[in-house]
Structure 1
Amino acid sequence: MLSRQKLSPETAEDDANAGELLGRSGNLPAPRLGRLVLLAALFCYFSITLLNILSSHASAAPVTAAVLCLFGIMALQLLHSRPGAHLVPARQKALTLFAQALLTYVPLLVFKTQWGSMAGFLAGSLLLLLPAPQAWLMYGVVGASMLAPPLLTGLPVVETFYYVQSTLLTGLVVYGLTRLADLIRVLHETRGELTRVAVTQERLRFARDLHDLLGYSLSAITLKGELIHRLLPAHPARARAEVEDVLTMSRQSLADVRSVASGYRDMSLQDEITSAQSVLSAADVRIDARVRLGELERELDTVLATVLREAVTNVLRHSRATYCEIAAEQSAGQVRLTIVNDGATSGYRDASPHSGSGLGNLQTRLGAVDGALTVEQRVDGTFRLMARAPEQSDREEASQSAA
């Protein structure tokens, strides 16, 4: 019976988290817009300083030199604010920071407070390019250096504090807007990576579910077909009954394919034990099933049923078993499923070219319910598989506590 439960809970949770993050990031501005905001802020600061220079009463030569310095600082600031600027060699960073310092402090000798905001760009560049402790120390030094121009011109203490604060604020704005533009770019790149990871995980889920669900069914159909071939000459009535079983299995296989494609299926351990008894008996394997189970949590029931289905598939394909023991029990808050069979000799293996990766899939599924898988092959040809898991996973308990 189909129900709305994910076949792969752990993959479903990853996809849900990825989808949630993608949804939250859907309102992010584009990376180009982040860069445009940064450039607009830099242009506004430079425009203010340019107007201050042009409105000064200095002669043409100092004004021309100051304008050239202004454009030089702007070019260096754009270089320092580009993505990945902090990754360039230390020598290159030292040269560009030294050039920006010269272009910042030399015009101060002429324009004094009218040039003061340019020191804020130097402070921002230091934060962007230098390691954290050194960067913040130099940032404070640049801010303190702006005490000199107001004091030299005899401005009041309040205005002196204003120039220092303006320098520090400009540095923070440059640093913050640059880092914000970088963060927007990284988030958009991460969103693309999450999309690719979600697609890859869905492909893995589909492949894993096909293996776990159809491997058992197709092995059982093959076994039944061989049995029918043997029964037809002497026991046509029994062969006809086996054909009915094959038809039932093929219909269930079709339903399984559809459930995998839609991503939903619910399984029952009790039903799988009954099915295993029928299939193994048809293969002339003596079966001993001991079941002491109460009502299981739905997700755990599905996982353990998948474990049993894969174990029976392995008995049919990878051994010459004559007997198989299945034990399912609950005790001390744990559920244990144990499958033991003989005939697992090292020299025997299914001749099909694709033997699958069922045990790895089972490890993944059990991990989703905080369980574990133990596999042991003894020298006498006995193969033992045990799956154990808590009756209620930590995730289920946490969801109930939150409710």
Structure 2
Amino acid sequence: MTVLNVVRTEPDTKQLTICVILVVAVFGVQVAISSGGARRWSARRKATALLLQAVLTFAPIVWFGTNWGSMEGPLAASLLLTLPARYAWPSYGLLIAFIPVYNVLAGASIDLVLYFTIAGTLTGLVIYGLTRLTDLVHEVHATREELARMAVTQERLRFARDLHDLLGYSLSAVTLKGELVQRLIGTRPDKACEETASLLQVARQALADVRLVSSGYRDMSLSAEAESAESVLTAADVRAEVNVMCGRLHPVVDTVLATALREGVTNILRHSGVRVCSIKAETDGETVRLCLTNDQPHEKRDVLSARTGGSGLENLRSRFTSIGGGVSAGLQVDGQFHLEVWAPVRPPSDDGESLGFEPSGSERTAVA
């Protein structure tokens, strides 16, 4: 429109060429300021670009007068894009106010004054809006890629955590039962056959666990894990005192408690010379508690406490924290090692009643 305004005055070739070059220069600087990298420019570089654009905006007025029209619009957009908000909008307002003041003083008609003012205002806002929209689109795409990377990382962590929690216990059980079969095969072959069948069952369960980890779905039962723990501890010549009194549990709570029991038994078998192990679980109001205690402390380098611990304890903390529970582990005053975990009867994200998970008064007690 500016070039057309100048053409209307029938300029010579030199004037028209200068006009076109200046218009292209103004918008060339504007394209640079509107580019995505401009937001990361230094303050000095931004000031230089603004100064250059200001010169290219106001200097041509000397030659073209009111025909230079509303070329202040791009500069107004640049002010909004480069200056802090507390300075940008007042500067934008002053620049837009300059347009009608100058054109009135230059003798332009009222319709041209209104046209130049409205055109300059809208040009600045449109360029600013399109630039910010482009920035936001790039941010959305970058955020989407980052979320995808985070999802992959979380899945890797889940896979590693589930493999540790599930297979550590199963492989320990296979080893213990294999050793038991080796001891019995010469003296009590019938008992060895029974333990072999139990070993195969544990191995099949380990295979099933691997498949569950791969599929991302896993649902465990505290009662079933208590029975399995009792069997494994017995195979390791450990007297197990199992007392589970929780009734029916929400599947999420049931799974994390079963995982805690499995991790606790795995550490007991790996890191201590335990002879008696106590497993107790009960519901206390709106909280379910599970406590494992053994009669001999873990080796010093392997003690899990509330301050230090391996990936197993960190996995448990992560699981229970996510549902509003907690974990406590360490040596008691009498020298026994304990692992205690607790969780709400209903996870925070579920109202319980809608899914029909009402804790019952039924109890399960098994003592070996």
Query: What TM-score do the two structures reach when normalised by structure 1?
Result: 0.81
Cα deviation, 1:302-340, whole Å, max 9, x if unaligned, reads: 111111011111111111111111111112211111111
- Tell me the CA shift for residue 58 of structure 1: 3.6
Partner of 2:289: helix, strand, or coil?
strand
Cα deviation, 1:114-145, whole Å, max 9, x if unaligned, reads: 32221000000111111111111111111001
- Tell me the CA shift for residue 56 of structure 1: 2.6
CA contact 1:345–1:381 (8 Å) conserved in 2: no
1:394 aligns with 2:335: no
In the alignment, residue 162 of structure 2 is paired with which amino acid? Answer: D
CA–CA distance in structure 2, aligned partners of residues 328 and 322 of structure 1: 20
CA contact 1:319–1:342 (8 Å) conserved in 2: no
Give the corresponding residue for 1:87.
Answer: 40
Give the corresponding residue for 2:121.
Answer: 168
CA–CA distance in structure 1, aligned partners of residues 264 and 46 of structure 2: 62
- Tell me the CA shift for residue 399 of structure 1: 11
Please identify, of 287-296 and 339-348, the stretch whose mean Cα deviation from structure 2 is larger.
339-348
CA contact 1:366–1:372 (8 Å) conserved in 2: yes
Partner of 1:125: helix, strand, or coil?
helix
CA–CA distance in structure 1, aligned partners of residues 313 and 31 of structure 2: 56
Partner of 1:387: helix, strand, or coil?
strand
Give the corresponding residue for 1:216.
Answer: 169
Give the corresponding residue for 2:365.
Answer: none
**Match of residue 358, structure 1, among 312, 324, 347:** 312
1:132 aligns with 2:97: no
Question: Structure 1's 347 and 104: CA in aligned 2 closer, same or farther, altered over 3 A?
Answer: closer
Please identify, of 256-265 and 240-249, the stretch whose mean Cα deviation from structure 2 is larger.
256-265
Give the corresponding residue for 1:150.
Answer: 103
CA contact 1:112–1:149 (8 Å) conserved in 2: no
Cα deviation, 1:184-210, whole Å, max 9, x if unaligned, reads: 122222222222221121111111111
1:382 aligns with 2:361: no
CA–CA distance in structure 1, aligned partners of residues 50 and 279 of structure 2: 74
CA contact 1:324–1:339 (8 Å) conserved in 2: yes
Give the corresponding residue for 1:207.
Answer: 160
Cα deviation, 1:253-305, whole Å, max 9, x if unaligned, reads: 11111111111121110111111111111211122122221211111111111
Structure 2 unpaired stretches of 5+: 304-308, 356-368
CA–CA distance in structure 2, aligned partners of residues 397 and 84 of structure 1: 48
Question: Structure 1's 377 and 274: CA in aligned 2 closer, same or farther, altered over 3 A?
Answer: same
Give the corresponding residue for 1:251.
Answer: 204
Of all paired residues, the percent bearing the same amino acid is: 48
Give the corresponding residue for 1:11.
Answer: none
- Tell me the CA shift for residue 152 of structure 1: 2.9
- Tell me the CA shift for residue 86 of structure 1: 2.8
CA contact 1:327–1:337 (8 Å) conserved in 2: yes
Cα deviation, 1:60-114, whole Å, max 9, x if unaligned, reads: 4443332222122122111111112132222222222112111111222343443
1:179 aligns with 2:135: no
Give the corresponding residue for 2:55.
Answer: 102
Question: Structure 1's 183 and 84: CA in aligned 2 closer, same or farther, altered over 3 A?
Answer: same
Partner of 1:389: helix, strand, or coil?
strand
CA contact 2:54–2:75 (8 Å) conserved in 1: yes
CA contact 2:320–2:343 (8 Å) conserved in 1: yes
Question: Structure 1's 66 and 125: CA in aligned 2 closer, same or farther, altered over 3 A?
Answer: same
Give the corresponding residue for 1:318.
Answer: 271
Question: Structure 1's 378 and 182: CA in aligned 2 closer, same or farther, altered over 3 A?
Answer: same
Structure 1 runs of 4+ off > 6 angstroms? none
Please identify, of 361-370 and 295-304, the stretch whose mean Cα deviation from structure 2 is larger.
361-370
CA RMSD, 1 decimal: 2.2
Query: What TM-score do the two structures reach when normalised by structure 2?
Result: 0.89
CA contact 2:233–2:239 (8 Å) conserved in 1: yes
**Match of residue 340, structure 1, among 293, 298, 311:** 293
In the alignment, residue 178 of structure 1 is paired with which amino acid? Answer: T
Cα deviation, 1:314-373, whole Å, max 9, x if unaligned, reads: 1111111111111111122111111111222434759xxxx9621111111112211111
Please identify, of 240-249 and 73-82, the stretch whose mean Cα deviation from structure 2 is larger.
73-82
1:54 aligns with 2:7: yes
Please identify, of 158-167 and 188-197, the stretch whose mean Cα deviation from structure 2 is larger.
158-167
Give the corresponding residue for 2:362.
Answer: none
Give the corresponding residue for 1:308.
Answer: 261
Aligned residues, how many? 350
**Match of residue 250, structure 2, among 297, 304, 317:** 297
